Structure formats: structure tokens, C-alpha cells
């Protein structure tokens, strides 16, 4: 796992009811939380995360994954909704994401290994 970024401590101040939010999903909290995730990994891979409505899009290099803020499945808590949507987006992008110890950790997908079977030349066929 590679440390992507630190968790934005100020994002917690944007949670309802302390911060007015008409979206019912904590849109201001979500935007503040994912903002530091737009960065580059030490190996040069670009990571981008954005929200549009209920959809969270996570891009790791050339792979893109989407997750939805599912209020009915997860519950009313915006923190849990965002964590579930980020996990869903990371899986769809072929990566692993973990939020622990005040940081966001990412394990990008390893490059696909393509196995090409050897084909016998037609002259060697019986």
C-alpha cells in the first residue's frame, strides 16, 4: 500500500448538522475529503477523484472506476456513504483503497500480465 495523502481534518467541520447541507449526502464534506486525493504517486501514476451528484469517480493511471453514494444501502451517515462509494470506485478501477491512521492508502492495480500461448508452426504439424 502506498500513502496517497493525509485525511483532510477540516472536512469533519463540514458534516451536517453543524454545516448546512441540502444534499442529504454531505456534499460539502465529500468534496473537502476527496480534494487532497488528486495527486501523483511516487512512481508518477496520476490519481484523481471527483464527485458529480451521487457519483464518485476515481482514476488511477489509465483505469477509471465509479461508485455511488448509496443512502439506502449504507445509511444516513455521510462518512460511511463516502467510504463505501470510494471502495466501490477503487474496486472498479482495479485498485485497493484503505482509510486508516489519518491517511488514505492506495494499492494500484498491477499491470496485467498477458500470456500468449506458443503456436506450433504449420510445418511442424503432423
Average pLDDT over residues 100-126: 65
Confidence label for 122 from pLDDT (cuts 50, 70 and 90): low
- pTM (two decimals): 0.81
The answer to whether 71 and 102 are in contact (CB under 8 A) is no
Q: Can you spell out the DSSP letters for 48-96?
A: EEEEETTEEEEEETTEEEEEE--HHHH-S-HHHHHHHHHHHHHHHTT-E
Torsion, Cα of 86, 92, 98, 102 (10° steps)? -40
**pLDDT reported for residue 65:** 95
Q: How far apart are CA 22 and CA 89, in angstroms?
A: 24
**Where in the chain are the domains?**
2-109
Cell numbers standing for residue 119: 503456436
Amino acid at each position: 500500500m502506498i500513502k496517497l495523502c493525509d485525511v483532510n481534518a477540516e472536512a469533519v467541520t463540514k458534516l451536517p448538522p453543524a454545516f448546512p447541507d441540502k444534499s442529504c449526502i454531505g456534499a460539502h464534506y465529500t468534496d473537502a475529503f476527496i480534494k487532497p486525493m488528486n495527486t501523483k504517486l511516487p512512481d508518477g501514476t496520476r490519481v484523481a477523484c471527483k464527485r458529480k451528484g451521487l457519483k464518485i469517480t476515481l482514476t488511477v493511471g489509465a483505469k477509471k472506476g465509479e461508485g455511488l453514494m448509496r443512502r439506502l444501502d449504507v445509511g444516513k451517515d455521510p462518512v460511511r456513504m463516502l467510504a463505501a462509494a470510494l471502495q466501490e470506485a477503487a474496486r472498479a478501477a482495479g485498485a485497493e483503497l484503505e482509510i486508516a491512521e489519518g491517511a488514505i492508502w492506495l494499492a494500484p492495480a498491477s499491470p496485467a500480465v498477458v500470456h500468449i500461448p506458443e503456436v506450433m508452426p504449420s510445418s511442424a504439424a503432423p
